[in-house]
Structure 1
Amino acid sequence: MSRHYAHTLSDGQSIRIRLKRSAKKNLILRPVSRDTVSINVPPFVSHRFLAQWLTDNEPLLRRTLDQAPTAAASADTLPEWIWYQGVQTTLSVHSGNHIQIRSSEILLPEKEPAAQLTHLRRFLHERAREYLLPRLEHHARATALIPAATALSNAKTFWGVCRHTTGIRLNWRLIGAPDYVADYICIHELCHLPHPDHSPQFWATVNRLTPHTQAAETWLKAHGRELFALG
């Protein structure tokens, strides 16, 4: 019989754990969806041990989530609004040929919904490239933590990833988040260069370099899912 538990990742994202006791001696992870994993554990494993194991093995947990199939964005309708740089921004239609951004409104050309979705995603991805990567490079220079490269990702389960060999990749959907959230993710990933874990030393470095850890994680926990409104 399976039981379900909530678990919070280091960036504030909440996921579900489908727990099943089995006679096998090893813990076995399997992806279920982009926010749910199944884990088989021996009968003697306590909830406290499991919670600590999930924290200590977050990279493995994220890789498992990333293997799950993801639902495609609907081609039939667009949401009424999306987040854009921390502002709830209404999506409207206009007669022009190009996307226009106003203070709290994005104007889309008249097209079929699927074409509007493709156009808007492409537009926001380019805005993310112009907005997020310079911020990341600025923080890299300011902290003297220089990644091998910088790029965007289309990941479904994490906001950023840092590897010594390939550099840092930021989720393009962070174009929807407030400045302080984007800055926090940049610094969070940069701090993985000297600390490729979530050890106390890692968090001490993060908190020394940004005052926004708690506020950013709180915002992502409340609104992170909404950044995926376009798929």
Structure 2
Amino acid sequence: MQLTHTLSDGLSICIELKRSARKNIILRPHSADTVRLNVPPYLGGRQLKDWLAGNEPLLRQALSRPPQPAPETMPGHIWYRGERHTLHTHKHAHICHQPPQILLPEALWSRQKSQLCRYLAERAAETLLPRLAQHAQAMRLNPAATALSHAKTFWGVCRSRTGIRLNWRLIGAPDFVADYVCIHELCHLPHPNHGPHFWEMVHRYTPHTRDAKKWLKQHGSELFVLG
């Protein structure tokens, strides 16, 4: 369903509302005047109105950064573990990683993009999941399972029954950012919300919280250049 919400400055925005979220309210950008909101079925109208009023900065941020379509031609560069890597082609049939560049087989961009996404997801599995396991061991926490996700808006998700999933695109971020996301999700095991005890635990295990959030704010959207 769609509804209209008026911001404090009188601007009216459109909200595409869906009621299928399990417990958390999920906000996704859509366009310059529309956001998508997925809320739990039990959330009442008054609670929704209060949430919208109390989270106006998040709404404005979503409106200012609508999702960008993946390019139809090869982009000039991508991020890999916090470093910009230029993309080029070569005569071989495999991807060749020669920092600070990645060489792709000659083909249509759609095929190259598919190969590159698969390559990066494999590197993410080799890098991010062991990193998550190391943090879990150090924090003496045991998620039910760990896996990668293809989410378009979340860096990670933690559920008590299904465990923790990390966005494979985090392979583009610096290690300290990946560490922050791992610790953030692990802290949701004892603290399912974002209350003071949750943030105290996050800051206890990572001194880079502020820098990591800043990096994701500045460059996070660039990690979705491949879609």
* Partner secondary structure for residue 180 of structure 1: helix
Contact 1:73–1:230 under 8 Å retained in 2 = yes
The answer for the alignment partner of 2:13 in structure 1 is: 18
* Partner secondary structure for residue 183 of structure 1: helix
RMSD: 3.3
1:182 alignment partner, one of 172, 178, 182: 178
2:30 alignment partner, one of 23, 30, 33: 33
Contact 2:172–2:223 under 8 Å retained in 1 = yes
Where does structure 1 lack aligned partners over 5 or more consecutive residues?
6-16, 21-28
Decide whether aligned partners of structure 1 residues 183 and 30 sit closer, same or farther in structure 2, where only a CA change above 3 A counts. closer
Can you list the C-alpha shifts for 1:169-220, whole angstroms capped at 9, x where unaligned? 0000000000000000000000000000000000000000110100000000
TM-score, reference length from structure 2: 0.76
Whether 1:228 and 2:220 are equivalent positions in the alignment is no
Decide whether aligned partners of structure 1 residues 117 and 2 sit closer, same or farther in structure 2, where only a CA change above 3 A counts. same
Whether 1:132 and 2:135 are equivalent positions in the alignment is no
Q: 1:118 offset after TM fit, Å?
A: 0.5
Q: How many residues align?
A: 196
Contact 1:34–1:156 under 8 Å retained in 2 = no
TM-score, reference length from structure 1: 0.75
Can you list the C-alpha shifts for 1:75-128, whole angstroms capped at 9, x where unaligned? x31211000000011000011111111121000011111100110011111111
Decide whether aligned partners of structure 1 residues 51 and 19 sit closer, same or farther in structure 2, where only a CA change above 3 A counts. farther
Decide whether aligned partners of structure 1 residues 19 and 199 sit closer, same or farther in structure 2, where only a CA change above 3 A counts. farther
The answer for the alignment partner of 1:51 in structure 2 is: 54
Contact 2:28–2:153 under 8 Å retained in 1 = no
Q: Which has the higher contact order (CA 8 A, sep 6+)?
A: 1
1:170-209 matched pairs, under 5 angstroms: 170-209=166-205
Contact 2:87–2:104 under 8 Å retained in 1 = yes
Decide whether aligned partners of structure 1 residues 131 and 31 sit closer, same or farther in structure 2, where only a CA change above 3 A counts. closer
Contact 1:4–1:19 under 8 Å retained in 2 = no
Whether 1:162 and 2:142 are equivalent positions in the alignment is no
Q: 1:18 offset after TM fit, Å?
A: 3.0
1:133-148 matched pairs, under 5 angstroms: 133-148=129-144
1:94-109 matched pairs, under 5 angstroms: 94-109=90-105
* Partner secondary structure for residue 111 of structure 1: coil
Decide whether aligned partners of structure 1 residues 172 and 34 sit closer, same or farther in structure 2, where only a CA change above 3 A counts. farther
Decide whether aligned partners of structure 1 residues 88 and 151 sit closer, same or farther in structure 2, where only a CA change above 3 A counts. same
Of the structure 1 ranges 173-182 and 90-99, higher mean CA displacement relative to structure 2 is found in 90-99
Contact 1:18–1:38 under 8 Å retained in 2 = no
Where does structure 2 lack aligned partners over 5 or more consecutive residues?
16-25, 38-44
Decide whether aligned partners of structure 1 residues 199 and 33 sit closer, same or farther in structure 2, where only a CA change above 3 A counts. same
Distance, in Å, in 2 between the alignment partners of 1:217 and 1:80 is 25
